[in-house]
Amino acid sequence: AQRVTQPEKLLSVFKGAPVELKCNYSYSGSPELFWYVQYSRQRLQLLLRHISRESIKGFTADLNKGETSFHLKKPFAQEEDSAMYYCALNNQGGKLIFGQGTELSVKP
Amino acid sequence: DVKVTQSSRYLVKRTGEKVFLECVQDMDHENMFWYRQDPGLGLRLIYFSYDVKMKEKGDIPEGYSVSREKKERFSLILESASTNQTSMYLCASSTAMRGFTEAFFGQGTRLTVV
């Protein structure tokens, strides 16, 4: 079965600390994986995708097929990073499956 | 500016009513989605449409139906609303081109069933 798991509901860090939001997936084919973010009172929007291997707002994510993980990392958290983060998987049929979400709180 | 527009931000309906949630996109996207967003449960897919008049059940289709008569419009129907359908509903669209499948979301409809 296709599944995305984010084990942490809430992650609280201090400004300047490193951040890692965990994501594990279950998919038998070749997945497309994404991180989406929802800031307070804004629409859900794409943060980054594994296929482009880019860094957005200082965040990176590496696909580890052996561990079936796609963790989101940032070396130095900022207060404006506080938001809800969702990991998502796109199967070959176009269906987009999301995880449960992790709320990141960055304290001053 | 790309747009996915949901017809209502807030709705209050009575138990047993038939409820229509409308979503329109202006990007000529093939794929459209309806999700429920609940705290601790994340986004759960209700229905997915990959073309006009085509639909596929998601993880939680019970109590819901959908309609896609035109490419730009995807409607979610609650046949007989119940209190456990009180939730935030999100519509999204994406292209079918693999590698470019960024989903664009609407602003959400917060539905309360009393």
Mean of the per-residue pLDDT values for chain B? Answer: 93
With a CB cutoff of 8 Å and minimum separation 6, the contacts of A56 are A47, A48
Residue B84 in tokens = 């456990």
* Alpha carbons A42 and B108: distance in angstroms, whole number: 10
Could you please report the per-residue DSSP string of B21-65?
Answer: EEEEESS--SEEEEEEEETTTEEEEEEEEEETTEEEE-S--TTEE
- Scanning every residue of chain B, which has its alpha carbon at the shortest distance from the alpha carbon of A42? B107
Segment A56-76 mean pLDDT:
92
B8 inside 8 A of chain A by CB: no
Q: Taking CB atoms and an 8 Å limit, are A95 and B101 in contact across chains? A: no
On the question of pLDDT at B96 being above 80, the answer is no
Query: Between B17 and A95, where is the model more confident?
Result: B17
Q: Taking CB atoms and an 8 Å limit, are A101 and B43 in contact across chains? A: yes
Mean of the per-residue pLDDT values for chain A? Answer: 91
Note whether B32 and B74 are within 8 A (CB): yes
Least confident of A98-102, B56-60, B94-98, B110-114: B94-98
pLDDT of residue A81: 97
Q: Taking CB atoms and an 8 Å limit, are B105 and A45 in contact across chains? A: yes
* Alpha carbons B114 and B111: distance in angstroms, whole number: 10
Least confident of A26-30, A77-81, B13-17, B48-52: A26-30
For residue B31, the chain A residues in CB contact (below 8 A) are 94, 96
